[in-house]
Structure 1
Amino acid sequence: MENRITVPFQARYEVLGTPSSNIEQVWFVCHGHGQLAKYFIRKFEKLDDGKTLIVAPEGLFRYYLQGFTGRVGATWMTKEDRQNDIENYLTYLSAVMQEVKTSLNPDVMVTLLGFSQGGATISRFATQTEVHFDRLVLWAGIFPPDLPPLASHRKLRDKECILVYGTEDEYLTAGRIAEQEGIAETIKIVPETLKFKGGHDINAELLEVINQRPYRQN
């Protein structure tokens, strides 16, 4: 018979910038499958201008990318014990956000970004917790199909939602894009779509364009 136990657990996250009252906006960014936060956060270095704080949580499960040694990556979840893993990482992400914001002004603007697998992660964080945010960016990722429609619409209806992908992204097929459109229709959200010439990666130029845009007044 399966049993469960709650234990103290340490998890890490990376930060670019210094939390202080000078910070005007926070980018809370979730990496994709097989990545580590300490490398993923480097893709946001151009945003580190003294007024922007970049926070990169890391998937709670690390593994060797090939065989039993060498490079290590992290993942947010697998199909095994799926719902419990989702609940665990939502608790973890909420704790990271709460800790970071203790050193910031309460009116700081917040962008939530998820790349690839991190898109599903950040979507659940945005819609299934009480996190305050102003902008949601799914980069090379899509809404997960299990988002609760009513709760998701309530959390996202007055937020800026942006879908970003490269025109040469081998993972975002026409079928995946159609699936994304169907999920967005189900939760009654019409995201803006931005494209760049490139593959399955963060495009620094487009990232800066989004960063320089004024936040929508809710």
Structure 2
Amino acid sequence: MQPQFFTTPRTARYISLGEPGPGIQHIWFCLHGREQSLQDFANQLVNLDTPERLLVLPEGLSRYALPALETTPEAADTVASWFAPDSIEADLTDLTVYLNGLATELLAACPPTPPSRCWDMGMEPRRHASGWPPATCPTTGWCFTPPFSLLK
């Protein structure tokens, strides 16, 4: 038996700290780590939120619940992963479509010329292979981990 693949639209979640608009000078796409809750990740980055900065936190498309330490299912944390080891190529294609679409939508509401910058901030090791960030980002910088002094 061989796995078969079928492409289908998905509904994806993201959190933004800040609102797209004419005052935005910096756009950071912040990619969470494996098995990280999107809300927990947002809470860690709240100190980086400024009026001229838009932080975009997309959630990986593979969502699942971690086993709860308590006995109630409601206590389980919902976390996400960016790709699975057995379907990396298909997952990277899906993620590229997802992240490019999200970037296109958000960038349309921000100033079209520099000083706007897109920053990719994340921990997943293979994200560069997906063609991310998109060419629509006016200027791109890479930041793999934020300065820890900003996270406190």
Q: TM-score, normalised by structure 2?
A: 0.80
**What letter matches 2:119 in structure 1?**
T
The superposition leaves residues 52-105 of structure 1 with CA deviations (integer Å, 9 ceiling, x where unpaired) of 100000000011222794122100011122210111111111111111111000
Q: Distance in 2 between matches of 1:84 and 1:43?
A: 30
Closer/same/farther in 2, CA of residues 44 and 50 from structure 1, 3 Å limit = same
State the partner residue of 1:130. 135
SS of 1:54's partner is strand
Q: TM-score, normalised by structure 1?
A: 0.58
Q: Distance in 2 between matches of 1:46 and 1:126?
A: 29
Residue 130 of structure 1, CA deviation: 2.9
**What letter matches 1:11 in structure 2?**
A
Unaligned runs of 5+ in 2: none
Q: Taking every aligned residue pair, what percent have the same amino acid on both sides?
A: 25
Closer/same/farther in 2, CA of residues 126 and 86 from structure 1, 3 Å limit = closer
**What letter matches 1:15 in structure 2?**
S
Unaligned runs of 5+ in 1: 140-201, 209-218
State the partner residue of 2:31. 30
State the partner residue of 2:82. 76
Residue 126 of structure 1, CA deviation: 5.3
SS of 1:28's partner is strand
Confirm or deny that 1:113 pairs with 2:121: yes
Residue correspondences, number? 143
2:37 touches 2:77 (CA, 8 Å); kept in 1?
A: no
2:93 touches 2:130 (CA, 8 Å); kept in 1?
A: no
**What letter matches 1:113 in structure 2?**
M
2:26 touches 2:52 (CA, 8 Å); kept in 1?
A: yes
Q: Distance in 1 between matches of 2:110 and 2:130?
A: 20
**What letter matches 2:135 in structure 1?**
E
Confirm or deny that 1:86 pairs with 2:30: no
Q: Distance in 2 between matches of 1:2 and 1:126?
A: 25
Which structure carries more relative contact order (alpha carbon 8 Å, separation 6+)? 2
Q: Distance in 2 between matches of 1:23 and 1:29?
A: 16
